[in-house]
Structure 1
Amino acid sequence: MFTQMVDDILLQIGVVLLVVVTFLFIYNVPQRVLATLRLRLHSKSAIQSKRHFVLGAQLLDQARSSSSDAASLFKQALDHADKAIALEPKDAAAHILKALALDAQGFKTSALDAIDVALSPLCRKSLVDAERGDALFKRAEIKMSMNRSRRVDSVVGDLTAAVELSPENANAFCLLGECYEEKKMTEQAKKAYEEALKLRPRFAAAKEALDRLGSS
């Protein structure tokens, strides 16, 4: 009976993952966060946690594309994130999902608290280096959205680590360039923008920044 239940859950997860992959790509959620969906079949709670994570990610995706019931969908996504955390508190993916749901609703401080937990010693072992780099970028992005002028210095460290751990994250390089530019570190800003443009040749923000800085 339990084996059949496990098979049914895994089948549902496989179908929903197609939607989740698109969501992660479009909204720059740490793109490798799906790797944390390792199916640890030794525990019923682990399977249930993964199911709540996938459902929450799907609801968050729906909320971002909905204008009529977005608020309700965001709340449901947050509820599934909380349920996943209750079952697997050391799984960083669920905390990241919670941060994204809170951030989307404008609860910046709470979102920052959630991403801090994901990057804490309690949870970060569940992330590979690239995932941790993407999460550091998201934390920097949230901080900057809270108070850009006061947060620049505090996020440079996160972004420097982010591009080392996740060297294919063009957005992280671009945000690092913006921070350097605000700190009047022109050469460092140019290098960061150039890296972003190498990774994404049509990255308009990076190209415009290089033009503005007079890149050769």
Structure 2
Amino acid sequence: MSKRVYISADYSQYNGDRDVVEELQKWGNDSLHKVDFIDMSSVAAGSVASDPDCRICDLKAEFNRQINASSAVIFVVGDKTRSRTAGQYCARAFLETCYGVYCTPYKQNSSGEKPCKVVNTFPTQNNNVGNINSYSYLRHEFEQAVSRKKDIIIVYNSTRYEHDWLPAYMKGYEDVASPFWTINAIGQRIGNYMYVKKALGFE
């Protein structure tokens, strides 16, 4: 049994949640459970982002494509998740024209701002969330997963239930969120995969 699962997480180098993603990737590579984990950082480092003129809206459109191709989405929630704003600044989201609108290409801050390249906008189709919006990257991924009715799995980067960490847009999902880590018999912190395995249909 093989599944394609998208992972949304805060990849900040110093206080993000990469440790959870790395543990999930290890599990996905085992010989028993065949899971193709697609994480946000891989998407952001892929062919779309390699374009020197890649914009916030281009990344969000690629997130949509990857989420649509997945059967489930895992959201890793850490103590900084609710305060993350990366991806939310898009002046075009509030205007009907691109005239006079500028944005900074992704990872090209040193190159300064460039004129908005989206001349015309169109209504979204197939329940996709529009890629021109004022959502952070993390919120955009969540809204897309909800809109496309994907199986949503939420794990806290903690050994405890941390409902206060949930962003406002995840309100109502407290009952399906679970700690990712547990403490074993010798006091080591290890990944608790029971919740994830059950949600993915492996138990």
Q: Which has the higher helix share?
A: 1
After TM superposition, the score normalised by the length of structure 2 is: 0.31
Q: Which has the higher contact order (CA 8 A, sep 6+)?
A: 2
After TM superposition, the score normalised by the length of structure 1 is: 0.30
